Chains A and B, each alone.
Chain A
């Protein structure tokens, strides 16, 4: 059919590069298909070849400058496996400290600066107010200052131990390059305690502003933002959420455990589908198969990231976070929850677990042990490393020659796991709001909100600044003439 209408939303985001949404209408003017296209590829899997394996933790973070610490850690863990060496207990503690600090600060960035302002300031508020300044306006200057301080102190920990907050460098097979001293332990413990308080307080804000407002709750549990998929996340031996290590667990849309496997076996469980119209690949559950962009138990589409991790677990690993976990499922009324907007809530609960874990790690003086690294003695071969990045399960897989030079690399990047689901969420929002060729103004808002809940990397850096996330929807008629333009 050539007489379709086409709607272009450009640019909507950045996964690896900025994305573009194309919506096609049928004869009746209803949505037929929506495509999220990612027009960028950089080819890390290929240019890793020939590099010394130990350099990978310094190369792969450039896949994403928003979550470089996740790549750094996944890569470092891959080196442990590849060189057949366990990190020393202290090496592991320092890595976990860095990683939890990162998880906290990234989640906080998202809630207060990027995706959260939709809620805190209100989805109906003028776009120009839906940013960190709007948040401060609503919750008060003192709180705004706390947000900035909590993030700064968490980032200071990563900066000190990792060298650089953007693209850390400290990971080596068997441990880390830099030890922690008592002076900094005390300082960081103070920060961590403040960060726990802050995280609880962030949940309180969510409670006051979102949960006490029926209108918001209705939006969260509304059908337009719901898709039923499988869920994936790392869990510890008690099936509790873990960001740094554990087994990968997958649950069915009804909540039953579907699979639980070790990082090394990921190829038995995950495959990636290629479409000719985007540079991004679409991962799916291999044992179900790729059935297209459809929901439900018969489709191999799964979701990752905060809500998915909570769905795939039996609880949180720390006590305060566990209380909130229980409350969340009570309010949402079902587990797993399929409400895309509940990702925001889950994100704050995870930030609390990360903060509590920081305190636990820093209260233990073993973290001061100078024995921070085991030097590998075995011949490197092949390794797989996995972590939970803020945006989902992240896989690194390298093979080397006997000198430890990379011969093959494979990466499944966090956000990419959600690529199919994001596409489906957008299509669903579009279908709900475009009827008979009539486009509601709310389309902009809803598409943006559906999309931002996944926190696909940098989606909206503009939210950090006065100004709005610019979005334009253009509607063309059958002759490709621009008939309408919506802008905010």
Chain B
């Protein structure tokens, strides 16, 4: 090994910028990291023209942190290139890990999304029905835009991923732990999610108030009821994704007296977060009568959009069937 500082890259795909903000939020701590590494890309990116990255030696970037889901041709091209140039790739945050909120776009496709954004929204004034095009000519000047896909992909559906840093956005302690582990070479087995492998309920202060069996008759929405700040949400009849969600966030939403929506994704043993939630819920309802269970489950509004709030692209369904979209 040379004495050169390890090269680190950050790249963003379809994301909100919250993950970059999370890195900046490390404040003083990040300065220590910055001293130890050589940042060759940063969120707002360098001159990341493809050819400049191409000019780097394969594997010469020690680690690339990539946040955001993949939805545009440009993003796909960039992450493939970064994969080739990087020793390690870390999927940073819920969107690249699971698809995240932008992954809800998989209930639709490009056509319906464009139609809404550029044609039917009530403030849009577009008599000619203009929509953005991959290639346009304005007074003989050619302008191009990246292609917009029908489907949102998780990072590991596009390239091989070494580690996952969960959360929307990942909390500072997990980011620092991950950076340190990488810099010190103390790495867990490939494919690991860098947060403890147990459920949120295991760490939740309200867990003790969760009865063995739930006697609820219907599911309540958070706005409909007074929310008890001490009692388990499920015991109050309010959907909380805790049983199907990995811990490590510090129960941040619960602390604000709001139920979990699952941004950390499932634990290692679980393939599909939504299916896991449904089975956990069924198993704690105080009835064995399937009809009864069905009746209670039927009172849940938008089950797909709730159980897969952050994980639709990574679920076994991945997306709504194209032929079902009107």
List residues of A whose CB falls within 8 A of some B CB.
Answer: 1-2, 4, 6, 10-11, 13-14, 17-18, 22, 24, 33, 35, 37, 39-43, 45-47, 50-52, 54-55, 58-59, 61-66, 68, 79, 83, 113, 148, 152, 155, 161-170, 172-174, 177-178, 266-267, 270-279, 281, 283, 286, 290, 373, 375-376, 397, 403-405, 410, 412, 457-462, 464-467, 469-470, 472, 487
Contact = CB atoms under 8 A, between A and B. Distances in A.
Contacts of A14: 12, 17, 43-44
Tell me whether chain B's interface is mostly helix, strand or loop, or mixed.
Answer: loop
B258 A271 contact: no
Given A1-B139, A148-B28, A467-B39, 12 more contacts: A39-B72, A51-B104, A59-B104, A155-B25, A161-B256, A164-B253, A165-B25, A166-B22, A169-B253, A169-B256, A274-B126, A458-B17
Interface in B1-27: 12, 14-22, 24-25, 27
B130 interface: yes
A469 B309 CA distance: 35
Interface of B: 12, 14-22, 24-25, 27-28, 30-31, 34, 39, 42-49, 71-72, 74, 100-102, 104-105, 107-108, 112-113, 116-118, 121-126, 130-133, 136, 138-141, 143, 145-146, 148, 168-169, 221-227, 229, 252-253, 255-258, 261, 301-302, 305-306, 309
B44 A18 contact: yes
Given A167-B169, A277-B138, A465-B34, A43 B113 contact: yes
A178 B257 contact: yes
B268 to A, nearest CB: 25
B45 A65 contact: no
Given A41-B117, A42-B102, A487 B47 contact: yes
Given A65-B15, A167-B18, A472-B47, A410 B122 contact: yes
B116 A43 contact: yes
Contacts of A465: 30-31, 34, 39, 42
A163 B258 contact: yes
A456 to B, nearest CB: 11
Given A63-B16, A169-B256, A487-B47, A39 B138 contact: no
A281 B125 CA distance: 10
A185 B72 CA distance: 46
B150 to A, nearest CB: 11
A462 B42 contact: yes
A52 B117 contact: no
B259 to A, nearest CB: 9
B14 to A, nearest CB: 6
A375 B224 contact: yes
A272 B143 CA distance: 21
Contact of B21 (A11, A66, A174, A273): A66
10 nearest interchain CB pairs? Answer: A65-B18, A163-B256, A43-B113, A65-B16, A271-B125, A62-B101, A277-B143, A47-B104, A65-B17, A46-B116
A215 to B, nearest CB: 28
Contacts of A51: 104, 302, 305
B169 A33 contact: no
Contacts of B130: 274-276
B168 A62 contact: yes
